[in-house]
């Protein structure tokens, strides 16, 4: 498998590992957005979050929860952004599912989730939008 994150998991590409269990591997991002920027990923190669089973996603986020608390304490954080770029259009550059934990401090001049995209769709039809989603659950 020619995947850099699979190679990080196997150890053929070195990384600064911070956590590992049966299903998850976490390491420091090589180009950190802020000090302590950590990547958490499933050991199983899966390209997109939307291709994961509920069980795999649940295991992944249980580890994100554990690791985020340690990152927060390690850097005495004021907060953090936790998120994923899902798909190339959303900025995913490595096609192996991963969650970013990005530490935040007051005054760091960073943005919020709301700064990622703003297509201004309006909110007149939220009931219809909710129905479209609910029909497919
Ligand atoms: P994405 O853009 O796919 O959401 O995130 C991929 C992340 O992986 C980027 O933040 C990038 O800096 C990081 N990354 C890419 N290649 C390597 C690598 O070889 N080692 C480490 N530690 N991080 C990497
Ligand atoms: Zn992979």
Q: Ligand 1 pocket: which of 25, 30, 86 to mutate (most atoms <8 Å of CB)?
A: 30
One of 3.40.50.720, 3.40.50.300, 3.30.428.10, 3.90.600.10 is the CATH number of 4-107, namely 3.30.428.10
Query: Can you give the pTM of this predicted structure?
Result: 0.98
- 133: helix, coil or strand? helix
Q: Whose CA is nearest to atom 18 of ligand 1?
A: 30
**Based on the number of CB atoms within 10 Å of its own CB, is 95 exposed (0-12), middle (13-18) or buried (19 or more)?**
middle
Q: Compute, in angstroms, the gap from residue 54 CA to the centroid of ligand 1.
A: 24
**Phi, psi at residue 119, to the nearest 5°?**
-95, 5
As a whole number of Å, the end-to-end CA separation of the chain is: 32
Residue 72: count of CB within 10 angstroms of its CB: 17
89-92 long-range CB contacts below 8 Å, 24 or more apart?
92/48
Q: Ligand 1 pocket: which of 17, 19, 39, 92 to mutate (most atoms <8 Å of CB)?
A: 39
* Kind and range of the H or E run holding 38: strand 38-42
pLDDT in tens, the chain (137 residues): 799 999 999 999 999 999 999 999 999 999 999 999 999 999 999 999 999 999 999 999 999 999 999 999 999 999 999 999 999 999 999 999 999 999 999 999 999 999 999 999 999 999 999 999 999 99
Closest listed residue to residue 43, CA positions, set 22, 70, 27: 22
**Phi, psi at residue 74, to the nearest 5°?**
-60, -35
């Amino acid at each position: 498998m020619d995947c850099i994150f699979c190679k990080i998991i196997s150890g053929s590409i070195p990384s600064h590992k911070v956590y590992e269990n049966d299903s998850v591997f976490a390491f420091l991002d090589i180009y950190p957005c802020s000090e302590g920027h950590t990547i958490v990923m499933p050991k199983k190669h899966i390209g997109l979050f939307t291709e994961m089973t509920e069980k795999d996603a649940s295991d992944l986020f249980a580890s994100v929860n554990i690791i985020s608390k340690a990152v927060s304490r390690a850097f005495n954080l004021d907060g953090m952004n936790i998120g994923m770029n899902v798909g190339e259009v959303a900025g995913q550059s490595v096609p192996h599912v991963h969650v970013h934990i990005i530490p935040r401090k007051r005054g760091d001049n960073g943005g919020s989730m709301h700064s990622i995209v703003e297509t201004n769709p309006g909110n007149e039809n939220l009931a219809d939008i909710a129905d479209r989603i609910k029909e497919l659950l």
